[in-house]
Structure 1
Amino acid sequence: MTISEHLQELHGLPVFDFPEAGFEAKLPPASTVAWRIAVDEYGENSDEKWTSAFERFAASVDTSEVRALIVGMWLEPYDSGSAPVVEALAGAAGRFPALRALFLGDITGEQCEISWINQGLVTPLLDAYPELLEFGVRGGQDLVFPPVRHKRLRSLTVETGGLDGEVVRGIAASELPSLERLDLWLGTSEYGATAEIRDLEPFLTGTRLPRLTHLALRNSDMQDLIADGLAGAPVVARLESLDLSMGTLGDEGAQALLGGQPLTHLKKLDLHHHFIGEAMAKRLAGALEPAGVEVDLADGHEIPDPDGREDHRYTAVAE
């Protein structure tokens, strides 16, 4: 399965596509939308670089009022990384004093599969925008995220088909005192995932990220191990929502959640796209829903072989 649709909103704002070169459109007030800037290598202006589109954008709108930016397709992301994009955005930071949300790589599977998206060093964007509240990035190929300090960031999302353990460790070592939402798509080893359970320990112990209320460790081929680690993890007690969706979670992981610390304080437990048996799914729902927990068990899958081997399960987003 791949990502089939672009983002529709960011920072609570509807997305507006900045027109391609040669096309005109009535532009909304700069502060009222999340602006998506992208190029189409198969369109009429197939030779326009993303940096050129960004320059047109900056010359067309009041950049001092822009609150949210989305980076869409740049030329050949399957061959070239996002370094020129990151450099352009970081260099223009002084022109965007109101920017509070930034997403790098809103690229669908039809344009480029998620595990083919080349990224690079992305933390210069956090350094350049100290007032940023939301940051997201899609694509794990050559993604680099060393430890960073950011006082204001509230939401961090990293979407991949396979996340390198070094990136996880970099995020875990970062100082993000205001972070409330962490969403990591860990992926599968087949597409570059190298993170291990021990790499997640700083998130689970609760010693990092003091304001975290939403934790998503999803789209993983070690979802049962993650569930087992969370069963006694101190961080769970202060979460409002826990997301273990899109991965290979089965009865073993579900049993770990049921047998671990209470989860009845959660507002939501998201387990959609799973391999939990019908009986265990009923047990989970029966234990949590009467307490007011929203349990998402949609998109359940049968394990293809009677032995229930883990290698026959699959993540929702991989290639």
Structure 2
Amino acid sequence: MTIGDHLREWGGLPAYTFPDPEKDAENQAAAVRSLPAADSVAWRIAVDSYEAPESWEDAFARFLDTVDPGAVRAIIVGSWTDAYENRPDGAIEAIVAAREQLPALRAVFVGDIIGEECEISWINQGEVTRLLEAFPALEELGVRGGERLEFTTVRHESLRKLTVEAGGLPVTVVRGVAASELPALVDLELWLGTSEYGGDSDVDDLAPILSGDRLPSLKRLALRNSEIQDVICAAVASAPVVARLDELDLSMGVLTDDGVAALLGGQPLTHLTSLDLHHNYVSSELGARLTDTLTAAGVELNLAVDDADEDEDDDGSVWRFVAVGE
């Protein structure tokens, strides 16, 4: 599966793409007059993926000159030119440099790029923690793409939601997130991916997250899109943080009966409001056992198979795939 749609919302606001410059001055003036209020949308700023007529930084400067930057609450960084080889360092630095102009900014997403622009595992990323350092009041940070992504250990008092989407998440990123002090974080979502696309972390790297010691406010934990989903389930089955969660998401990965059996044999999950396991390779027997256990307690369970796919070699070896790889 590839990502085919841009974000529809971020920071609790509907996404709105800041318009490209118009050749006709009259049309350009009309486009500016029709723009929504600066604080009513999440502004998506993007340029063409290939041979863009302006740089992302120039588009952002035009944005700051057009809207009231003091009221802007959410920014979505869309495509920058040649994301398959260029990092968004210029975009990140431009936002950081404008921090005095953006006092109301509370949500940033870096890399709202769909498959036809650049596949997720080809997206080059940058040092996204620069945004956390520059905006101490930031509440939501999202990132798509794991290639050359940097997430240094930070302490941030305000961040409530952190999402990192990747076909393969580098171990340095997982360890950076796990070692960070995020006392206000309510929602953590990591797409761990596969080793084929750079996902080289293992379950031990998740231990600080699963202990919950640095995440006292966490209510939703999503460890998704992993080729080691069964091993993660085994760790989650006894993880202290689970007792504090409302929502647990272990979807989009290579989840089999072994993972479900670990969940059934571990700590009770009946306190959850939801457990998401969609895209899985679970048998109907184990699925029924889990369903009977959780739905009787009122837990919303998603066991949809979706597009889970597997191949069999001539020697009988079975290959199973995560939901989002390349």
**Does the alignment reach a TM-score above 0.5?**
yes
The answer to whether structure 1 residue 156 and structure 2 residue 162 are counterparts is yes
- Cα distance per residue 1:162-194 (max 9 Å; x no partner): 000011101111111100110000000000001
| Alignment partner, residue 11 of structure 1 | 11
**Once the two structures are aligned, what percentage of the paired residues are identical?**
56
The answer to whether structure 1 residue 272 and structure 2 residue 275 are counterparts is no
C-alpha RMSD of matched pairs (Å): 1.7
- Cα distance per residue 1:278-302 (max 9 Å; x no partner): 1111111111011000000112547
Offset at 1:16?
A: 0.8
Structure 2 counterparts to residues 209-228 of structure 1, below 5 A: 209-228=215-234
1:70 to 60, 68, 76: 76
Answer with 237-246 or 276-285: which moved more. Answer: 276-285
TM-aligned CA distance change 1:149 to 1:31, over 3 Å: same
The answer to whether structure 1 residue 180 and structure 2 residue 186 are counterparts is yes
- Unaligned runs of 5+ residues in structure 2 are none
TM-aligned CA distance change 1:41 to 1:172, over 3 Å: closer
Q: Aligned partners of 2:150, 2:59: CA distance in 1, in Å?
A: 25
Offset at 1:121?
A: 1.1
| Alignment partner, residue 86 of structure 2 | 80
| Alignment partner, residue 36 of structure 1 | 44
- State the SS of the aligned residue for 1:163: coil
TM-aligned CA distance change 1:288 to 1:68, over 3 Å: same
Q: Aligned partners of 1:280, 1:303: CA distance in 2, in Å?
A: 19
Answer with 47-56 or 22-31: which moved more. Answer: 22-31
Offset at 1:41?
A: 4.0
Code of the residue aligned with 1:179 in structure 2: it is: L
1:277 and 1:302 in contact (8 A); partners too: no
- State the SS of the aligned residue for 2:296: helix
TM-aligned CA distance change 1:289 to 1:302, over 3 Å: farther
Q: Aligned partners of 2:280, 2:255: CA distance in 1, in Å?
A: 5
Q: Aligned partners of 1:277, 1:207: CA distance in 2, in Å?
A: 35
Q: Aligned partners of 2:8, 2:133: CA distance in 1, in Å?
A: 26
Query: Which 4+ stretches in 1 moved above 2 angstroms?
Result: 299-306
Offset at 1:21?
A: 1.7
The answer to whether structure 1 residue 171 and structure 2 residue 182 are counterparts is no
1:197 and 1:226 in contact (8 A); partners too: yes
| Alignment partner, residue 130 of structure 1 | 136
Structure 2 length-normalised TM: 0.94
2:75 and 2:107 in contact (8 A); partners too: yes
Q: Aligned partners of 2:229, 2:145: CA distance in 1, in Å?
A: 20
Code of the residue aligned with 1:208 in structure 2: it is: R
- Unaligned runs of 5+ residues in structure 1 are none
- How many residues are paired up? 316
Code of the residue aligned with 2:47 in structure 1: it is: V
Offset at 1:305?
A: 4.7
2:223 and 2:250 in contact (8 A); partners too: yes
TM-aligned CA distance change 1:208 to 1:8, over 3 Å: same
The answer to whether structure 1 residue 49 and structure 2 residue 48 are counterparts is no
1:249 to 239, 255, 272: 255
2:183 and 2:217 in contact (8 A); partners too: yes
Structure 1 length-normalised TM: 0.96
Code of the residue aligned with 2:126 in structure 1: it is: G
Offset at 1:311?
A: 5.8
Q: Aligned partners of 1:16, 1:153: CA distance in 2, in Å?
A: 23
